[in-house]
Structure 1
Amino acid sequence: MRLLILCSLMALAAVTPARARELPPTFQVAGVLPKNSAEQFELAFWNSVKDSKQVGDYEAYLQAYPKGRFASLARTRIQQLKAAAPQAPASAPAKPAESKPAGTQPQTKTAPKPQPAKPPDNKIRPIPATGTPPADGGREEAPVAGPAGSVATMKDCDVCPVMAALSPRPFTMGNNSSDPSERPAHQVALHTPFAIGKYEVTVGQWNQCVRASVCPTMPSLGNVPDNLPMRDVSWDEAQLYLKWLGTVSGKPYRLPTEAEWEYAARGGTATRYWWGNEMKKGNSSCEGCGEPWSEERPPPVGSFPANPFGLNDMNGSVWEWVQDCWHSTYKGAPADGSPWVDGNCQARVIRGGSWRENGSYMLSTTRFKYDASVRQSQNGFRVARSLD
């Protein structure tokens, strides 16, 4: 019986997206190999949070798997972290975070009315290869992208993220030599120009939505700089930010489709990574990928070079939500890059890996899933919108 269990665990580990340093040498694999199995996804979830110092990570596991195999360990870890947490001074007691169902919009009794966006100046500017988001809130606008494969920056309003405007061309999506979920590699013809965030949505940008009494606060992040990528956000909560941004800007913001995301991540290349077929340090935020790196949190957005489309942190940093519902393979996937929104829509696709994984997760084709209502400290997002 023990031999049977051991063999099962070894087979499971071979398809589990756990950090390589957490696995014995005999369990290490190259690449992310998730299969559409509830048991495998539970183990992947647990492996991603088991060393966390955030109570919310274990609560997220319990929300997804209240009777899971690691439920008792998660509850014990929560008790230990709460017991070790410093007590707030008596003169300024900490206000407990209000627990609300994912996707529930907070009350807006004191919410200021959103101001209409200023008219765009219709300027098109080249997008820089590196750098951080502009601090002056300057406006950049590209009403339409240029020829296929070209790039320009745009900014719809003062609080809107800087985006790259892309005129797409056909490309090969997926990977026949990696995980089964990335197969089959197939041609996708994106016909509609679209814009996608140059950076992931930042803590500062999210907090602007919080101050408008639309987005929930995230006490789990603590007091972190505004230029860090926003994370610990569920798919449902990302929708709140997108709706608020659409109200403020007057533009139809959304998450990118999975095909748009991969097209943008590849940056016009056909290699495993946008920089080539071999992992190289200094190109992405992940464990072993070079400085700056910390196990506790990702570095500020724009800390690493941008890809050929001028987009930062597509590989690593935080996993990014996309519009699509989860499918275990690409069989039957749309060929025009539209969102695949039938099937298991309780689970949504996340792309790109995170700073806690190693370089084998940084492939432009890497994909995984999470429950749309569940927060996880490694999950964030970037915005997109169509330009037609």
Structure 2
Amino acid sequence: MWHTLLKVCVLVGPAFACCGNAHGRAPDMQAPGIVPKASPEQFELAFWNSIKDSTHASDYEAYLKAYPKGRFAPLAQARMARLRAPPAQGAAAQGPPAPAAKAKQAPAKPAAPASSGASPAAPPAAAAATPAVAKAGAEIRDCPACPVLVAIPAGSFTMGNNTSDPSEKPAHQVTIATPFAIGKFEVTVQQWNACVDARGCPAIAQPANTPPNAPMRDLSWDDAQQYVKWLGTASGKPYRLPTEAEWEFAARGGTATRYWWGEQMVPGKANCKDCGPPWSADRPAGVGSFAANPYGVHDTSGSLWEWVSDCWHNNFKNAPVDGSSWDQPNCRVRVIRGGSWREGAAYMVASTRFRYDASVRQWQNGFRVARSLK
């Protein structure tokens, strides 16, 4: 697999990638200092603009938690009071049905407000029924501009693959002691542009006629770090990239097979050139075009290679066994996972991994976000 990758030039090592980037990209794509300076005022304004027309009191409460003395605090307090005004029972009854209809996991849905840091608006009985941590598979959305997250349970699994590429060896037991949440989808063009509009991320051109729900690509690891920093400020939550172990745990969806759906490729399960329709050589499909795995996570096989937080190591010898990020000082080569729509079925296995220079943008690379749940 490794030699095939280099031979067909689908993906390349960091040094060659930099060389190719210098010859094949416009200079401004690598120019330093292209990101406009972001200020707390700009973040606050972006947050407010994303919720100012909301009809959910929890959105205004989230704003007040992030900016208790913000410029819009009086207005947020007034709107929150109005939305929670009597008849309180009617207001409380109006909120939950929408998320319950969205996913057939009614007991799990009340956990979303608890995860977003908002105080419960429901009566004490409903609050008592809300679990401290979102049920596995429950969806969480911390702010209107935030990507939808999926709650992933704590647990143990075998990471890596002893019968595949040497970089995936040795297969080893990893225990993730606390639940976390990961993006249900890869970050989309629309979500990235919200960060651009708030002056927290650089504007990066996408191919003509790219739809808003397309996964945002041509991103470096450094770009992804700017996005999670902005998202954390806008939401008041500790967003980050998933660790490599968290990513594989979520991608496997509780399974131990080569692919999350079994040992053999099944057409229509992933976005790759050997995986069946919908597929186009020109671009990846929109997020969610293929079925979710058992944890409710989409597009971990194919679509885009996804950045994770870890520094690249040539194999898993001496890798952490607690799910933490395997980092080192001044690391400039980072891990990407999952393959892309341009690769074949061999790259769709849950253990597939590769490396890329953290500062280099590549048209098959994107990411999804994560955060801890406590």
Taking structure 2 as the reference length, the TM-score comes to 0.74
Asked if structure 1 preserves the Cα contact closer than 8 Å seen for 2:42 and 2:199, the reply is: yes
Residue of structure 2 equivalent to 1:285:
271
Residues 234 and 365 of structure 1: CA distance in aligned 2, closer, same or farther (over 3 Å): same
Residue of structure 2 equivalent to 1:48:
10
| Segment drifting more, 185-194 vs 105-114 | 105-114
Find out whether 1:101 has 2:55 as its counterpart: no
Task: Give CA deviations for 1:46-72 in whole Å, capped at 9, x if unaligned.
Answer: 70279xxxxxxxxx9876137xxxx9x
Q: What is the alpha-carbon distance in structure 1 between the residues aligned to residue 361 and residue 30 of structure 2?
A: 12
Residue of structure 2 equivalent to 1:145:
133
Asked if structure 2 preserves the Cα contact closer than 8 Å seen for 1:231 and 1:377, the reply is: yes
Higher percent of residues as helix: 2
Superposed, 1:224-243 pairs within 5 Å as 224-243=210-229
Asked if structure 2 preserves the Cα contact closer than 8 Å seen for 1:142 and 1:153, the reply is: no
Task: Give CA deviations for 1:347-378 in whole Å, capped at 9, x if unaligned.
Answer: 10000000000111000000000000000000
Task: Give CA deviations for 1:271-293 in whole Å, capped at 9, x if unaligned.
Answer: 00000000111000000211111
Residues 220 and 302 of structure 1: CA distance in aligned 2, closer, same or farther (over 3 Å): closer
Amino acid at match of 1:115: F
Residue of structure 1 equivalent to 2:347:
361
Candidates 4, 14, 19, aligned match of 1:65:
19
Count matched residues. Answer: 306
Superposed, 1:1-388 pairs within 5 Å as 15-18=2-5, 43=6, 47-48=9-10, 64-65=18-19, 75=23, 100-101=31-32, 105-108=35-38, 111=42, 113-115=45-47, 118-119=60-61, 128=103, 140-141=112-113, 143=115, 144-146=132-134, 150-342=136-328, 345-388=331-374
TM-superposed CA distance for 1:111, in Å, is: 4.2
Asked if structure 1 preserves the Cα contact closer than 8 Å seen for 2:112 and 2:134, the reply is: no
TM-superposed CA distance for 1:141, in Å, is: 3.6
Amino acid at match of 2:36: P
Asked if structure 2 preserves the Cα contact closer than 8 Å seen for 1:234 and 1:376, the reply is: yes
TM-superposed CA distance for 1:115, in Å, is: 2.9
TM-superposed CA distance for 1:114, in Å, is: 3.7
Asked if structure 2 preserves the Cα contact closer than 8 Å seen for 1:347 and 1:372, the reply is: yes
SS in 2 for 1:270: coil
Q: What is the alpha-carbon distance in structure 2 between the residues aligned to residue 202 and residue 195 of structure 1?
A: 17
Q: What is the alpha-carbon distance in structure 2 between the residues aligned to residue 185 and residue 98 of structure 1?
A: 38
Amino acid at match of 2:154: P
Q: What is the alpha-carbon distance in structure 2 between the residues aligned to residue 195 and residue 314 of structure 1?
A: 15
Q: Which runs of 5+ in 2 are unaligned?
A: 49-58, 63-91, 105-110, 116-131
Q: What is the alpha-carbon distance in structure 2 between the residues aligned to residue 228 and residue 107 of structure 1?
A: 27
Q: What is the alpha-carbon distance in structure 1 between the residues aligned to residue 261 and residue 100 of structure 2?
A: 24
Task: Give CA deviations for 1:15-72 in whole Å, capped at 9, x if unaligned.
Answer: 3253xxxxxxxxxxxxxxxxxxxxxxxx46x70279xxxxxxxxx9876137xxxx9x
Using the aligned pairs only, state the percent identity.
53
Query: How large is the Cα RMSD of the aligned pairs?
Result: 3.0
Q: Which runs of 5+ in 1 are unaligned?
A: 1-13, 19-42, 51-59, 83-95, 130-138
Amino acid at match of 2:153: S
Q: What is the alpha-carbon distance in structure 2 between the residues aligned to residue 230 and residue 321 of structure 1?
A: 12
SS in 1 for 2:60: coil
Asked if structure 2 preserves the Cα contact closer than 8 Å seen for 1:127 and 1:164, the reply is: no
Asked if structure 1 preserves the Cα contact closer than 8 Å seen for 2:219 and 2:365, the reply is: yes
